[in-house]
């Protein structure tokens, strides 16, 4: 539905600008009818046949048709001719700003919106468009500054608030994101902003608040995968594992396959002392794993195998975890495993010494390792 709203909007703006021309009747009505019927190619055929190629009305309609057909280069040429004739034409400058952005010509877009803001410094729309340029050009300072200004001028701007909040959440400032979101949501309702508010609250570790934020959607039966993800993570973080598991199962049942789901299910079952089930999910996490967290998955597998007295497999996964993460504390775990479970003095001493040579500074484990090396060497 959204593109259908944008097309008449572009055309209406073009017509409104065209009415400013002195030669108001230079474009046949048939052309406007074709444009209104989305028959842009037919409209362009007639437009290109008009002798007055420098008529602003003709150029504006050409720009509109080329833009909506996706011929951005031709649209840019039409609007650039308008700006050559009328350097203050805000409609052409705004269209160029959008087209330059689509073509990744961010320098040109920045020039356009700088001019527009200089012409009308209290127009929130220009600041929003400038913010979008900054966002797509990966210039976060420009994006943040302009979205914030757009919101200051128009606090009910859902789009600017959404962009700004998303940037702040990703930038580890969920607290500031929540402030902006609450101001806009006090003026207008928006499901996307409410979802962002829940994400911001999760980032602040306000897990109960995040669940309360999306509760109205769940009551209405609007259970999307994103709401399910929020519920599962919040309940998990609150250590309500029995409540979290059904939500994670819901995600898997709806074909949301992700290593974090398997990992969180493994941890949940591990904490419920269902270690065999936990092992199954940790193995699935390893299989799906593409992140830097695979070493953690191996550690959890090792702990789970220890819990069911399967010490050979525990050692196997401690070794795999160490190879993946190079976490020196795992050398201590290996030394302790060979020491306590296998009574393998040589291996125990080997790993304890490797640990003591490492840069790890954990006082208790270093003291214990030193003590066990002395004892084992003394009695060997």
Query: What separation, in Å, do the N-terminal and C-terminal C-alpha atoms of the chain show?
Result: 79
Please provide residue 175's backbone torsions phi and psi, each rounded to the nearest 5 degrees: -65, -45
Rounded CA separation 76/351 (Å): 68
Calculate the CA dihedral of residues 350, 356, 362, 364 and round it to 10 degrees: 70
Cα 370-373-374 angle, rounded to 5 deg: 90
User: What is the CATH class of 1-103?
Assistant: mainly alpha
pTM for the model stands at 0.79
Helix (H) or strand (E) holding 374: helix 363-379
Q: How far is CA 232 from the centre of its chain?
A: 18
Residues 6+ apart with CB under 8 A from 3: none
Per-residue pLDDT of the chain (380 residues; tens, 9 = 90+): 344 444 444 544 454 444 444 444 568 899 999 999 999 999 999 999 987 778 899 999 999 999 999 999 999 999 999 999 999 999 999 999 999 999 999 999 999 999 999 999 999 999 999 999 999 999 999 999 999 999 999 999 999 999 999 999 999 999 999 999 999 999 999 999 999 999 999 999 999 999 999 999 888 877 788 999 999 999 999 999 999 999 999 999 998 888 999 999 999 999 999 999 999 999 999 988 767 788 899 999 999 999 999 999 999 999 999 999 999 999 999 999 999 999 999 999 999 999 999 999 999 999 999 999 999 988 77
Angle between the 207-219 and 225-237 helix axes, to the nearest 10 degrees? 150
Give the separation between CA 266 and CA 305, rounded to whole angstroms: 12
CA distance 226 to 148: 27
Is the Cβ–Cβ distance between 44 and 66 less than 8 Å? yes
Domains of the chain, by residue range, sit at: 1-103, 331-380
């Amino acid at each position: 539905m959204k593109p259908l709203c944008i097309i008449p909007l572009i055309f209406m703006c073009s017509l409104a600008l065209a009415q400013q021309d002195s030669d108001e009747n230079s474009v046949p009505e048939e052309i406007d009818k074709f444009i209104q019927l989305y028959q842009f190619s037919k409209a362009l055929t007639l437009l290109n046949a008009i002798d007055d190629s420098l008529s602003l009305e003709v150029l504006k309609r050409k720009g509109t048709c080329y833009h909506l057909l996706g011929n951005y280069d031709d649209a840019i040429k039409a609007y650039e001719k308008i700006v050559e004739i009328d350097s203050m034409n805000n409609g052409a400058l705004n269209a160029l700003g959008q087209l330059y952005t689509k073509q990744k010509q961010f320098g040109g877009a920045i020039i356009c919106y700088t001019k527009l803001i200089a012409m009308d410094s209290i127009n929130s729309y220009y600041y929003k468009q400038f913010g979008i340029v900054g966002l797509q050009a990966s210039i976060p300072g420009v994006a943040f500054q302009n979205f914030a200004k757009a919101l200051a001028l128009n606090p009910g701007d859902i789009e600017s608030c959404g962009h700004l909040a998303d940037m702040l959440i990703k930038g580890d400032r969920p607290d500031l994101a929540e402030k902006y979101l609450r101001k806009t949501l006090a003026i207008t309702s928006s499901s996307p902003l409410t979802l962002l508010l829940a994400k911001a609250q999760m980032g602040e570790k306000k897990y109960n608040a995040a669940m309360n934020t999306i509760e109205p959607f769940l009551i209405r039966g609007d259970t999307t995968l994103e709401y399910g993800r929020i519920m599962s993570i919040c309940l998990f973080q609150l250590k309500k594992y029995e409540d979290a598991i059904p939500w994670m199962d819901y995600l898997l049942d709806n074909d949301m396959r992700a290593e974090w789901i398997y990992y969180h299910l493994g941890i949940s079952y591990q904490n419920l002392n269902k270690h065999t089930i936990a092992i199954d999910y940790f193995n699935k996490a390893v299989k799906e794993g593409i992140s830097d967290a695979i070493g953690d998955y191996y550690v959890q597998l090792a702990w789970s195998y220890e819990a069911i007295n399967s010490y050979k497999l525990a050692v196997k996964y401690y070794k795999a975890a160490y190879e993946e993460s190079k976490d020196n504390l795992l050398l201590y775990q290996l030394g302790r495993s060979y020491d306590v479970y296998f009574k393998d003095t040589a291996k125990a001493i080997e790993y304890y010494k490797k640990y003591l040579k490492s840069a790890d500074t954990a006082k208790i484990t270093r003291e214990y390792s030193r003590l066990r090396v002395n004892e084992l060497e003394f009695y060997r």
